[in-house]
Amino acid sequence: MTILAASPAAIAQAAALLREGKLVAFPTETVYGLGADATNDRAVAAIYAAKGRPQFNPLIAHVAEARDLDDLIVWNDAARLLAEHFWPGPLTLVLPRRADSPVALLASAGLDTLAVRIPAHPVALELLRATGRPVVAPSANASGKLSPTTPAHVAESLSDNVELILAGGKCAVGVESTVLDLTTPRPTILRPGAITREMLERQLSRVFEATHDDASPKSPGMMASHYAPHLPLRLEATTVAPDEALLAFGPDVFVKGGATRLNLSPTGDLTEAASNLFAMLRQLDQLHFNGIAVMPIPALGLGIAINDRLQRAAAPRDAV
Ligand code: AMP
Ligand code: MG
């Protein structure tokens, strides 16, 4: 891990590292972010591994210009209006993903939506321009620790897991961005932040707040649990029935030949497995089977988040 003052040369180096799939921490106006190339499945998986999150929460994709989002999400009028008014700034918009969006499915935690933002920090904007790709950047701290507002905080929390920290002083806002869901006719605040409901209501006539007892719960946690395949999942499978597809893991796959199977990681690499999880579940789910058998995945490191997601996907629908 290296800490460099955010000079043009350091920013160019950081952009090159991001394009190689490495993790780089950088300042935004809210908190320091742990950045990865949003289009690189392995790099996105490495973010979850570095943070040690026991769950796959969807991540925010950051870009430098609104037009950089044209390939990623489906715009609507409210999004255009708010983007015009509040970007660059501490407002994250949740929008439908384009079907051909190049952003890793893991970044959306398997959802059909994507959270996007243009940060208002000169270092973040220069880095995003130099990288030329969307960058996912959750707060640069280990799971359960406070969000970092100085480079020293990042180094304390993540030193082994980040290639480079771009130092750009203390973050001005210090709290995370407001997250606003624009995927339904009711714009809904999923996470309160620096852009308040009153500020949003000056642009959109009504803005709602997600509450726990909301008729249609939309809090980030609930959203994150939303993706489930149509086919039932059978976990810890040590056999596969003729009417099941197999989601395998590791080198010791018990069926050879016949059965339709995809392997999350033939070498048993959990980062590779995480990067393949949502795409492979979706692929198997489209096939004509009566269920998906999933081989055991070790509950270590990223395996904890993978198992968490599989368990939710396997739970009876009305219990999710
Ligand atoms: P962080 O990356 O730590 O700033 O957290 C990102 C926040 O945005 C979390 O609260 C996520 O649950 C929320 N978020 C990101 N993507 C989505 C999405 N597609 N739908 C709903 N919430 C999202
Ligand atoms: Mg955080």
Which CATH number do you get for residue 146? 3.90.870.10
Is 195 within a domain? no
Of 153, 177, 201, the residue at which a domain comes to its end is: 177
User: Chain centroid to CA 221: how far?
Assistant: 13
Residues with CB under 5 A from ligand 2 (ion): 139
* 57 CA: nearest ligand 1 atom: 12
**102 preceded by a cis bond (ω within 30 of 0):** no
Which pLDDT value is given to residue 108? 95
In the predicted model, what is the mean pLDDT of residues 105-129?
96
Contacts of 244 (CB under 8 A, 6+ apart): 234, 237, 259, 289, 290, 291, 292, 293
Contact call for residues 293 and 249 (beta carbons, < 8 A): no
Domain that holds residue 103: 2-177
Q: Which of 30, 60, 157, 176 to mutate to test the pocket of ligand 1 (most atoms within 8 A of CB)?
A: 60
Contact call for residues 32 and 171 (beta carbons, < 8 A): yes
Is 308 within a domain? yes
- Cβ of 272 less than 6 Å from ligand 1: no
Q: Are residues 66 and 142 in the same domain?
A: yes
Of 159, 177, 195, the residue at which a domain comes to its end is: 177
Q: Is the pLDDT of residue 46 over 70?
A: yes
Q: Are residues 8 and 96 in the same domain?
A: yes
Of 137, 162, 177, the residue at which a domain comes to its end is: 177
Classified as helix, coil or strand, 167 is strand
Amino acid present at 82 = L
Q: Whose CA is nearest to atom 10 of ligand 1?
A: 220
Instruction: Give the C-alpha separation, 90 to 95, whole Å.
Output: 16
Q: Is the pLDDT of residue 196 over 50?
A: yes
Contact call for residues 62 and 149 (beta carbons, < 8 A): no
Q: Are residues 154 and 243 in the same domain?
A: no
Query: What percent of the chain has a predicted confidence (pLDDT) above 90?
Result: 75
Instruction: Give the C-alpha separation, 216 to 113, whole Å.
Output: 17
Please state, in angstroms and as integers, the Cα–Cα distance from residue 13 to each residue in 26, 39, 41, 166, 190, following that order: 12, 19, 21, 10, 35
Q: Is the pLDDT of residue 27 over 50?
A: yes
- Cβ of 304 less than 6 Å from ligand 1: no
In the predicted model, what is the mean pLDDT of residues 18-40?
97
- Number of CB atoms found within 10 A of residue 82's CB: 21
Start-end of H helices in 71-227:
77-86, 122-131, 151-158, 197-201, 220-224
Q: Are residues 27 and 105 in the same domain?
A: yes
Which pLDDT value is given to residue 318? 52
- Cα–ligand 1 centroid distance for 251 (angstroms): 34
Is 227 within a domain? no
Q: Is the pLDDT of residue 219 over 70?
A: no
Q: Are residues 158 and 269 in the same domain?
A: no
Instruction: Give the C-alpha separation, 203 to 239, whole Å.
Output: 56
**What angle do helix axes 270-285 and 302-314 make, rounded to 10 degrees?**
20
Which pLDDT value is given to residue 222? 45
Q: Are residues 39 and 161 in the same domain?
A: yes
Q: Is the pLDDT of residue 291 over 50?
A: yes
- The structure tokens listed for 161 are 């897991």
Classified as helix, coil or strand, 263 is strand
Q: Are residues 245 and 117 in the same domain?
A: no
Q: Are residues 106 and 16 in the same domain?
A: yes
Q: Are residues 58 and 170 in the same domain?
A: yes
Is 27 within a domain? yes
- Cβ of 115 less than 6 Å from ligand 1: yes
Q: Are residues 172 and 240 in the same domain?
A: no
Query: What percent of the chain has a predicted confidence (pLDDT) above 70?
Result: 92
State the chain's mean pLDDT as an integer: 90
- Cβ of 55 less than 6 Å from ligand 1: no
Which pLDDT value is given to residue 284? 93
Is 95 within a domain? yes
Handedness of CA 188, 193, 111, 312 (dihedral sign): negative
Which pLDDT value is given to residue 259? 65
In the predicted model, what is the mean pLDDT of residues 84-111?
97
Lowest mean pLDDT among 68-72, 99-103, 174-178: 174-178
* 111 CA: nearest ligand 1 atom: 19
Is 111 within a domain? yes
Q: Would you place residue 175 in the very low, low, confident or very high pLDDT band (cuts 50, 70, 90)?
A: confident
- Cβ of 148 less than 6 Å from ligand 1: no
Q: Is the pLDDT of residue 320 over 60?
A: no
Is 28 within a domain? yes
Which pLDDT value is given to residue 54? 86
- Cβ of 30 less than 6 Å from ligand 1: no
Could you tell me the CATH number of the domain that includes residue 296? 3.40.50.11030
Question: What's the total number of domains in the chain?
Answer: 2
Is 215 within a domain? no
Beta bridge partners of 162: none
Which pLDDT value is given to residue 227? 66
- Cα–ligand 1 centroid distance for 188 (angstroms): 13
- Cβ of 93 less than 6 Å from ligand 1: no
Q: Would you place residue 194 in the very low, low, confident or very high pLDDT band (cuts 50, 70, 90)?
A: confident
Q: Are residues 11 and 115 in the same domain?
A: yes
Q: Whose CA is nearest to atom 14 of ligand 1?
A: 58
- Cα–ligand 1 centroid distance for 223 (angstroms): 9
Most confident region among 32-46, 172-186, 208-222 by mean pLDDT: 32-46
Q: Are residues 159 and 250 in the same domain?
A: no
- Number of CB atoms found within 10 A of residue 191's CB: 16
DSSP sequence for 41-89: HHHHHHHHHHHT-SS----EEE-SSGGGGTTTB---HHHHHHHHHH-SS
- The structure tokens listed for 79 are 């999004």
Q: Whose CA is nearest to atom 6 of ligand 1?
A: 59
The 10s digit of each residue's pLDDT in 204-215 is 989 999 875 444
